[in-house]
Amino acid sequence: MGPRNAAAETAPREKTAIQVIDRMMKLLDALAQSSEPVSLKALSLWTDLHPSTAHRILNDMVVGRFVDRGETPGTYRLGMRLLELGNLVKARLSVREAALEPMRDLHRKTGQTVNLSVRQGDEIVYIDRSYSERSGMQVVRAIGGRAPLHLTSSGKLFLANDDPRVVRSYATRTGLAGHTRNSITDLTKLERELSLVRARGYARDNEELELGVRCIAAGIRDDSGRLVAGLSVSAPAERMQDEWIEDLVTTAARISSGLGHNRAEPGTS
C-alpha cells in the first residue's frame, strides 16, 4: 500500500514539472517573436495561458534572468541569461570547427597529443583532441574529462586572465588541492606563476596534474577578444621541447583568426 501511494504522489509532481517547463518554453517562444517588450495580456493570448499563470511563471524567469521586465510596466522581453548561454554554445561549437585542421597540423608537427579545452567554473573541460598511439603517452584525460584550473596549462591561461581578487576567491574556494608533488598549492606561488603566463603569452604544466606528463598551452580568443579556449600540447616529461612553443602559439593565433580575432594583445595568443 505504501509504495503504491508514493508512486501515485510522484507521478503528479513529475507531470506538473513537465507542464511548467512546457509553459516556460511557450512564453519564451512568444517573446522571441517580437523585437519589442510584450505585455502580459498579449503573452497570455498567444500562449493560451491564464494571465495569473503566465505572470507567476514570468516572475520566476525574471529571477533567473531568462526574462527581463520592459521599461513599460507589465511588459517583458527575453533576458540576458539567454544571450550568455547562447554565446557559450556558439563559442564551443565554433571553436571546435575552427580548431579541427590546425590541431591536426600541430599534431603532425610535434607528434604529440594536442588538446582543446574550455573553462567551466573552476575546471577545464576537454572538448577535442588530436593524438596517435605513437605519441608514446597514454591519454589521461578523455574528451569530456575535467581538471582543476590551477593544475593545468590551459587552466592557468584563464586564471591569468582573471582579476587578482577573482584568483584569490578561486584559491579560497578550491583550497588549491594538489595532485602531485609538483602541484602549485600555495597562492603566492600561483600568483607568481600567473604573472609569468601573462608575460610569456603561454602557460606550462610541469607534471602538476599527472606525474610524467608536461603540457604547454596558448589561448584562443574570439572576435570580441574574449578568451574562449586553451590549446595545449601534452607530452611525456622527457620529450617536451621548447621549440614547440612557437608552433603552438602560431596555431592558437590561427584558430583565433578563424573566430574573427585579428587584434594582437599583450600577454595573449
Whole-number Å distance between alpha carbons of 99 and 154 = 15
> Of 18-22, 26-30, 177-181, 249-253, which range is least confident?
18-22
Distances (CA, A) of 75 to 43, 58, 80, 194, 231: 9, 10, 16, 46, 44
What was the pLDDT predicted at 133?
59
- Each residue of 86-114: pLDDT tens digit? 877 777 778 999 999 999 999 999 999 99
Distances (CA, A) of 155 to 64, 205, 265: 28, 10, 19
Query: What is the helix (H) or strand (E) element at residue 165, kind and residue range?
Result: helix 164-174
Facing residues of 232 across strands?
115, 217
What's the DSSP call for residue 238? Answer: G
Q: Measure the CA–CA gap between 109 and 241, rounded to whole angstroms.
A: 12
Q: Residue 116's pLDDT is what?
A: 97
Q: Answer whether residue 4 shows pLDDT above 70.
A: no
Q: How many CB atoms lie within 10 A of CB 41?
A: 12
Closest CA to 229 of 151, 108, 126: 126
pLDDT digits (tens, 9 = 90+) for 150-164: 999 999 999 999 999
For 227, half-sphere exposure in the C-beta direction (CA atoms, 13 angstrom radius) is: 25
pTM for the whole structure: 0.67
- Dig out the grid coordinates for 252 from the structure: 592558437
Give the single-character DSSP code of 181: T
CA–CA dist 62, 68 (Å, integer): 6
CA distance 148 to 179: 10
Residue 31: all three cell numbers together: 517573446
pLDDT digits (tens, 9 = 90+) for 51-97: 999 999 999 999 999 999 999 999 999 999 998 888 777 777 789 99
**Strand locations in the chain (E):** 38-39, 67-69, 75-78, 113-120, 123-130, 146-148, 203-206, 213-221, 227-236
